[in-house]
Amino acid sequence: MDGKKILIVDDDKDLLLGLNIRLKAAGYDVIPVSDALSAISKAQRERPDLIILDIGLPGGSGFLVMERLTSLMPVASIPVIVLTARDPHANRERALKAGAVAFLQKPVDNDELLNTVRKTFEGPLEPTAEKEPQGMQRNEETFKKILIVDDDKDLLLGLNIRLKASGYNVILAADALSALSKAQQERPDLIVLDIALPGGDGFLVMNRLKLPQINLNIPVIILTAKDSKVNEERALKAGAAAFLRKPVDNDELIGTIRKALEESDRDVENGQ
């Protein structure tokens, strides 16, 4: 596995970053690109061992990319995994006929993606431990648990990948009701929360968590595209530990999470 080079082609920046982090954490070299022309150019220049390819791309579809690559002898034999949110009934057979070795549907489970990548390189494998980021020891019991709440499925997947790659246990919810239910069931150490949600906004979620019958004092980081000063002030007054705007830089997100968790731990130690 070490040294295998993977070209990821997707125009969703958050998903692209998330897959980049996850595959690097699993020991692969990664080349991310976001459009059809760059995919063809990078494939010729970098000669990757595998391509993970979306169908909907600026400058041409994933099918066009596969068609062009198969006509270029030096890169014609590179295996392609199609990863897309498009209807599998309409696209799976076409992708496989075009030469894809696998067709995966977004949002894809991390284990399913990594197992498909491994099988492409090495054939069917028994589950194996993933390579952890440098300096991190695998100990599931000590990992902090983070609930991510967002109705954007691709963003949810990207954040899931990013945070797992950074050593956190992750729980996902896509609406206000699920967020409240999972917060009570799972008792996460921190919540990353969007404002605009089906079934109620992020402010409703924060207020409900503080009700006497729930009474969960969980630090909340607001991550939203609703970036007005009014929303920021309202979120901080409601008790949010931080207010971040989409799209968020990975280092900023991870740094904000670590700081919020450290402050929460100190409050617990001080009996607050």
Of 61, 89, 122, the residue at which a domain comes to its end is 122
Both 13 and 79 in one domain: the answer is: yes
| Regions of the chain where pLDDT drops below 50 | 1, 124-142
Scored b (16 or more CB within 10 A) or e, 123-161 reads eeeeeeebeeeeeeeeeeeebbebbbbbbbebbbbbbbb
Which residue range forms the structural domain that includes residue 242? 140-269
The structure tokens listed for 59 are: 């400058």
Residue 132 lies in a domain: no
CB atoms within 10 A of CB 260: 20
The structure tokens listed for 60 are: 């041409």
pLDDT of residue 212: 84
Both 39 and 86 in one domain: the answer is: yes
pLDDT of residue 173: 94
Return the amino acid letter for 268. Answer: V
Number of folded domains in the chain? 2
Of 73, 88, 122, the residue at which a domain comes to its end is 122
pLDDT of residue 272: 60
Return the amino acid letter for 186. Answer: E
pLDDT of residue 123: 53
Both 263 and 145 in one domain: the answer is: yes
pLDDT of residue 2: 55
Both 145 and 200 in one domain: the answer is: yes
Both 115 and 144 in one domain: the answer is: no
Q: Can you give the CATH number for the domain in which 194 is found?
A: 3.40.50.2300
- 195: Cβ contacts below 8 Å, ≥ 6 apart: 201, 202, 203, 222, 224, 226, 231, 235
For 101, phi and psi rounded to 5 degrees?
-85, -20
pLDDT of residue 129: 38
Q: What span, in angstroms and rounded, lies between the C-alpha atoms of 108 and 153? A: 10
Strands 50-53 and 29-33: unpaired
Q: What span, in angstroms and rounded, lies between the C-alpha atoms of 160 and 169? A: 9
Q: What span, in angstroms and rounded, lies between the C-alpha atoms of 103 and 40? A: 20
